[in-house]
Amino acid sequence: MDFSSSHLPWRLDVGRHEALRHKTRTLGEFWAVGCTLGGISGRRGATELRRTEGEYLGVLLVRKGSEIFTQNDKTALVGEGCAVIWDGVKSAECHSAGSLEKFTFFLPRELAREALPGFESLIGRPLESSPSLRLLFSWMETSMGAADMDDTAASTAGRVAVDLLTSAIGSSSNMVLDARSIRLMEVRDFIDAHLRDAALGVVEIAQANAVSVRYLHLLFKESGETCGQYLLRRRLEVAQRLLTVQPGLSVTEIGLRCGFSNPSSFSRAYRVSFGISPRAARRS
């Protein structure tokens, strides 16, 4: 469908087709899509990747509502006024249960590499609201709404959007790319890739990443949570997503996939974190 191809090829299940509206605007070497939906679930798998011409990054900017976006085993809940960067050469999933308004800004990977060195470490990590990100939202609205933009103006608009994105990344509190922050991202990536390993703990994480347990604690100290807390939170976030988008999986199987050794430990941790049991969450 046109909506799918405007965002690169996706396999989509649109909740309410009558609520679907979208508009595409070319911005020089870049392009942007603004859309309104009444709920959606989507996936970019091997088939969609083969159908994609060129290599691009996408920047999802949520105006109203929220969207769950998963890539690289990272699941980001992107709320109103926030954003997430995703990679067009890798599989991805998205889900929104309710009404959603968003922009998606696309830029070629080779240009992204020049503007955002080391962008691979940013994939799947939410960008928090900031003055620069709010300016990017406003700039997207202006660029999408301009009726008489010629090619030169459109190209300028695209370059300004990239500059605002770069600024938003630099001002986001979880995107400070000093050496320790980059090391922390690498450790988090390792954890996200091994969540289903029930034997994974702080000691195993430290050993696999060739650091001491003490240094691992230092890496996580400024993030506001311990390594163990991050591991548990990510397991529960993935479990919460699977309960929503994988009705064919039993609650027990979801717990095992997320690294919980038995159903009771999964249910107990889920209830402590979310206030209800996994079975009740699925029913609701």
> What are the pLDDT digits (tens) for 185-196?
788 888 988 888
Evaluate if residue 60 carries a pLDDT over 60: yes
pLDDT value for 229: 93
Evaluate if residue 3 carries a pLDDT over 70: no
Evaluate if residue 52 carries a pLDDT over 80: yes
Residue 264 confidence class, pLDDT cut points 50, 70, 90: very high
Q: Could you tell me if 125 and 264 lie in one domain?
A: no
Give the span between the Cα atoms of 149 and 97, in whole angstroms: 35
CATH number at residue 261: 1.10.10.60
Sequence-separated (6 or more) residues with CB below 8 Å from residue 89: 49, 52, 55, 109
Evaluate if residue 2 carries a pLDDT over 80: no
Residue 169, Cβ density class (10 Å: 0-12 exposed, 13-18 middle, ≥19 buried): buried
CA atoms within 13 A on the CB side of 269: 21
End-of-domain residue from the set 142, 171, 200: 171
Mean pLDDT of 44-58: 92
End-of-domain residue from the set 114, 140, 171: 171
Mean pLDDT of 123-148: 89
Give the span between the Cα atoms of 204 and 187, in whole angstroms: 11
Lowest-pLDDT range of 83-92, 170-179, 186-195, 203-212: 170-179
Q: Could you tell me if 40 and 104 lie in one domain?
A: yes
Residue 178 confidence class, pLDDT cut points 50, 70, 90: low
pLDDT value for 84: 94
Q: Could you tell me if 30 and 148 lie in one domain?
A: yes
End-of-domain residue from the set 171, 206, 230: 171
Structural domain harbouring 88? 2-171
Q: Could you tell me if 115 and 227 lie in one domain?
A: no
Q: What is the total count of domains within the chain?
A: 2
pLDDT value for 169: 85
Of residues 182 and 75, more confidently modeled: 75
> What are the pLDDT digits (tens) for 213-257?
998 998 888 777 899 999 999 999 889 888 887 888 899 999 999
Evaluate if residue 207 carries a pLDDT over 70: yes
C-alpha distances in Å from residue 268, one per residue of 160, 245, 257, 274? 48, 21, 16, 10
Q: Could you tell me if 86 and 191 lie in one domain?
A: no
Torsion of CA 194, 199, 203, 208, to 10 degrees: -40
Give ∠ CA 129-232-133 in degrees, rounded to 5. 10
Q: Could you tell me if 207 and 232 lie in one domain?
A: yes
pLDDT value for 17: 55
Check: CB of residue 62 under 8 Å from CB of residue 81: yes
Of residues 166 and 117, more confidently modeled: 166
Nearest Cα to 62, choosing from 119, 122, 8, 140?
140
Give the span between the Cα atoms of 172 and 68, in whole angstroms: 19
Q: Could you tell me if 144 and 64 lie in one domain?
A: yes
Check: CB of residue 68 under 8 Å from CB of residue 241: yes
